[in-house]
Amino acid sequence: MSTQTTTAGHAATPAWKEWILTTDHKRIGVLYLIGSMAAFAVAGLMALIIRAEQMELGMQFVESGTEYNGYLYFHGAAMILAFLIPGLTGFAANYFLPLMIGARDVAFPRINAFSVWLFYFAIILALLSFVIPDAPDIMWTGYPPYSITTSANTSFYVFTVHMLGFSSILGAVNFLVTVIYMRAPGMGWNQLNIFVWTTIAAFVLQLIFIPVLAAAVTLLLFDKYLGTHFYDPSAGGDVLLYQNLFWFYSHPAVYVIFLPAVGILFDIIATMSKNRVFNYKAAVYAGIWGIVGISGIVWVHHLYISGMPDWIRLGHMVTTLLISIPVGILTLSLWGTLYKGAISYNTAMMYAASCLYLILLGGLTGIPLAIPSMTLHLSETSYVHAHFHFIMALFSAFALFGGIYYWFPKMTGRFADGPMATLSFWLNFIGVNVTFWPLFIIGKEGMPRRYWDYEMFKDAQVLGYSFEDFHKVATLGALLIALGMILQFINFIWAAKNGKPAPANPWNSKSLEWTHTASPPGPGNFGDIDVEVDENWSPYEYNNK
Amino acid sequence: MTSEADTAHVHEHHWEWSWAPLLVVAGTFFLVPIAFAFYFAYENVTLSAIFAGIGTVMLLAGVSMWVNEGLTQTPLLAGVANIGLPIFILSEIFIFLSLFSSYWMMRLSIDSWPPEGTPEIDKILPIIMTFILVGSSVTAHIAEEKLEHSDLSGFNKWWIITIVLGTAFLGCTLWEWDHLIQMDFIPETNAFSSAFYTITGFHASHVLVGIGAFIAVLIPALGGRTNKTFVTCVSVYWHFVDVVWFFVASQIYFW
């Protein structure tokens, strides 16, 4: 699949050039996949160190609190900015969105390559924090005044955000133009895959909100290195300004991750249940665009304890609770798509089904956090930590892994399903529950998040057990996940070479990426004939005939 | 919706690749984050200069390759950059809005304005600068008209005038900064100086990028090669930079 297909006028090009320097959307997608999985592996290792340190009272694994903060920084920043966002809007969107709409590539292939290289250099910059003497230690949030007064290298954090942000903004421009102008002739807006809708919704959010984050961290950079006073109250600045600007992006960023994950679930569940998407229009226009519409006015719930007038808290309580309505519509559509379907359970579907559980658990535990009176108690505890891991980290990561199993035959021509896949799924699924349930319980009792130790809770008892016991269980869960993920990666690499060969459309899907392309698709995706669809076509037309 | 049958088959039989994106990113990486960190965080001016130099060379090489490929290769769908650029500008609007709202927050919550340490800032210069920048938008538009009528030498002439005006504008900003710094009005001075240098500097950086884009159009145009989409995009970007200046001038100088 590399170099043999050259025709007159094109000299044979070495395979490495056609990969490293590629401007093809599928190969760029694969580059995103490799980079995001590498980031996931390193950031996952950081999580293990964090859990190992918390397992017992006192300091065991890290040398100092600063070192522990460095791991927290890398874990959070890399998981969100280098694993989830690039995995979903980089890998999945790049590889499959053009195939789904019948396009031969994205509108601006070179800008697409530019985006992926910004992503890689941002990862390099983040990884440099392991070799420089003053690694950033400011979490992924970078709140001043600490981020300004710290002796650590805040500039690497700022530039990492800049590069990933610019990468996403250009991706947004690229994909919006692609979807508007390059759909196959005959393809109307109500015939798009839900994944296409969720991806462009995510990119609309990136386009509008990333600049605000970019501005916030740029002012941070100027305050630290040029001595400006944006976040310095003693000279007329406002330290809360940063938190407002930061969360004005970073709450919508949750939906940038959540939406494409939901889109992948819709495609898996409709295909594996051989069923139409339940309430397509409500899911798209009320669900997806409802989230986009409300996402910009909920950020203050991250600042409930930062001090503000009560009427602002109340207003944002209402909007924050309100956003559970579009999320609920999407969840109902997902369940409704299963209704009277002919469901086949394979690894992709098991991940999708587990996501239906994770979204329920993560979503419902979020409601108390939307309410200021309860947040005053729960904020900055490991309850919050467990909540956002369930709804954002685990839900989206499971959807992404489900998507990889679902599209694996398309990308490689082989199945990744098998006993090893099933085993790793169960290890992961049991592992995440064992890890995060204990954190809910001790979080409700006051266990702070981000601390490397909990000496002050030495004598506290919950349900007859000490905090330390709960931390031990959580660490055991983390080890289960680590084992599951290692098996999973071995399985992916093994299956790409030796897995059971798959036909071009193994799941009998109706979506264009399965019906009209080879596995894996060649240059130009669709052979010599352009794809056209008629007005009755739908990627989910399982019930019509 | 449309798929141009004539251009769609270009990409079919071989994998497309290009050095340009990688070089531009690598160049930017050395020129900005690495050079900045060496200068400010590690206070090593030599290494900072070396990395900035390497970065600049890579960046220029990447951009020139990119422009060359853009002028010689057939795109999958021609002309959509005219749609992509306004979408990108939407993003730019939000970054300027964020900077302005930070400035408004500071200004509206402070007791007395301008804060202590602010010298009298000359109000004639920004008016002159406004005329220069608006004039350059007009000349850019005239150049576009010339190209419309296939008058390449006329295009080149007006395009060069635009570059000269843009450079003059940048010169004014630098002169003003130098002047104010000599009066001990530096970014550190107070809340207003923070906002002043950040916002005028951010706008000036856009002017600089705009001039770079103008030159990237001009060099092949002198050799007779142009691309209308490219010219229109650069021109639209320039008008945007022009419009932003009205907000910068009114908010910073005349409020």
Contact A146, B113 (CB under 8 A): no
Share of chain A above pLDDT 90, in %: 87
Q: Decide if pLDDT at A174 tops 50.
A: yes
All residues of chain B having their beta carbon less than 8 Å from the beta carbon of residue A530 are 3, 5, 8
Q: Which residue of B has its CA nearest to A26?
A: B15
- The 10s digit of each residue's pLDDT in A49-91 is 999 999 999 998 999 988 998 899 899 999 999 999 999 999 9
Which amino acid belongs to residue A496?
A
Give the residue-averaged pLDDT of A469-479.
Answer: 97
pLDDT at B243: 97
Name the pLDDT band for B6 (thresholds 50, 70, 90). very low
How far apart are the C-alpha atoms of A70 and A67, rounded to whole Å?
5
Determine the pLDDT at residue A130. 86
Contact B129, B172 (CB under 8 A): yes
Q: Hey, is the C-beta of B73 within 8 angstroms of any chain A C-beta?
A: no
pLDDT at A103 over 90: yes
Mean pLDDT of chain A: 93
A10 has pLDDT over 80: no
**Chain B interface, best mutation among A21, A137, A154, A530, by max B CB count within 10 A:** A21
Which of A226, A247, A516 is the mutation pick for testing B, counting most B CBs within 10 A?
A226
In the predicted model, is pLDDT for residue A418 greater than 80?
yes
Domain boundary assignment for chain A:
21-515
Question: Which residues numbered 30-59 in B keep a CB inside 8 Å of some CB on A?
Answer: 32-33, 36-37, 40-41
Range 93-122 of B in CB contact (< 8 A) with A: 94-95, 97-99, 102, 105-106, 109-110, 115
Give me A539's structure tokens: 């990627």
Residue A15's pLDDT band, with cuts at 50, 70 and 90, is confident
A184 to chain B: nearest residue by CA?
Answer: B1
Does the distance separating the beta carbons of B2 and A185 come in below 8 Å?
Answer: yes
Mean pLDDT, to the nearest integer, of A394-408? 97
pLDDT of residue A66: 87
For residue B77, give the nearest of A163, A181, A235 by CB distance. A181
| Contact in structure between A497 and A505 (CB atoms under 8 Å) | no
Higher pLDDT, B114 or A437: A437
Query: Can you tell me the distance from the alpha carbon of A372 to that of A392, in angstroms, rounded to the nearest whole number?
Result: 21
Contacts of A467 by beta carbon, 8 Å cutoff, 6+ apart: A442, A445, A447, A454, A457, A458, A460
Q: Which of A159, A181, A527 sits opposite B33 (nearest CB)?
A: A159
Residue A544: band (very low, low, confident or very high) from pLDDT cuts 50, 70, 90: low
Flag whether pLDDT at B2 surpasses 60.
no
Asked whether residue A110 carries a pLDDT value surpassing 80, the answer given is: yes
The label of the residue with tokens 């109307």 reads A188
Looking at this predicted complex, what is its ipTM? Answer: 0.93
- Does pLDDT of A414 surpass 80? yes
H or E stretch including A294?
A: helix A289-295
Coil, helix or strand at residue A1: coil
Q: Is B245 helix (H, G, I), strand (E, B) or coil?
A: helix
Tell me: pLDDT of B190 over 50: yes
Q: How confident is the model at residue B74 (pLDDT cuts 50, 70, 90)?
A: confident
Answer yes or no: do B106 and A163 touch at CB < 8 A.
no
Q: Which residues of B touch A236 (CB under 8 A)?
A: 106, 109-110, 115, 190-191
Most B CBs within 10 A among A155, A163, A175, hence the mutation to make, goes to A155
Enumerate the residues of chain B whose CB falls inside 8 A of the CB of residue A94. none
pLDDT at A292: 97
pLDDT band, very low/low/confident/very high, at A236 (cuts 50, 70, 90): confident
Residue A294 pLDDT class (50, 70, 90 cuts):
very high
Q: pLDDT for B14-38, tens place per residue?
A: 899 999 999 999 999 999 999 999 9
What pLDDT, on the 0 to 100 scale, is given for residue B114? Answer: 87
* pLDDT tens readout for residues A256-284: 999 999 999 999 999 999 999 999 999 99
Report pLDDT for B3.
39
pTM for the full predicted model: 0.94
Cβ of B84 within 8 Å of Cβ of A528? The answer is: no
Interface of A with B in 320-359 (CB under 8 A): none
Tokens matching residue A211? 């600049």
Average pLDDT, stretch A164-169?
96
CATH fold label, A21-515: Cytochrome C Oxidase; Chain A (1.20.210)
The answer to whether the beta carbons of residues A73 and A140 sit under 8 Å apart is: yes
Is a pLDDT exceeding 50 seen at residue B10? Answer: no
**With an 8 Å Cβ cutoff, is A134 touching chain B?**
yes
Cβ distance B3 to A184 less than 8 Å, yes or no, reads: yes
3-state secondary structure of A509: coil
Q: What percent of chain A clears pLDDT 70, i.e. is strictly above it? A: 98
Q: How confident is the model at residue A1 (pLDDT cuts 50, 70, 90)?
A: very low
* A39 band by pLDDT with thresholds 50, 70 and 90: very high
**In chain B, what percentage of residues exceed pLDDT 90?**
85
Q: Which amino acid is at A148?
A: I
Of A7, A211, A215, the CB nearest to B14: A7
Evaluate if residue B110 carries a pLDDT over 70. Answer: yes
pLDDT at A43 over 80: yes
Residue with tokens 């490219």: B230
A429 vs A398: CA distance, rounded Å? 9
CB pair distance less than 8 Å for A226 and B87: no
Judge whether residue B255 has pLDDT over 90.
no
Residues of chain B contacting A105 with CB distance shorter than 8 Å = 11, 16, 76
Q: If residue A461 lies in a helix (H) or strand (E), which one and from where to where?
A: strand A461-462
Residue A22: phi and psi, rounded to 5, are -65, 150
Residue B109: what pLDDT? 87
Nearest to B191 among A6, A27, A236 (CB): A236
What is the mean pLDDT of the segment spanning A335-342? 94
Which residue's structure tokens are 């990113």? B25
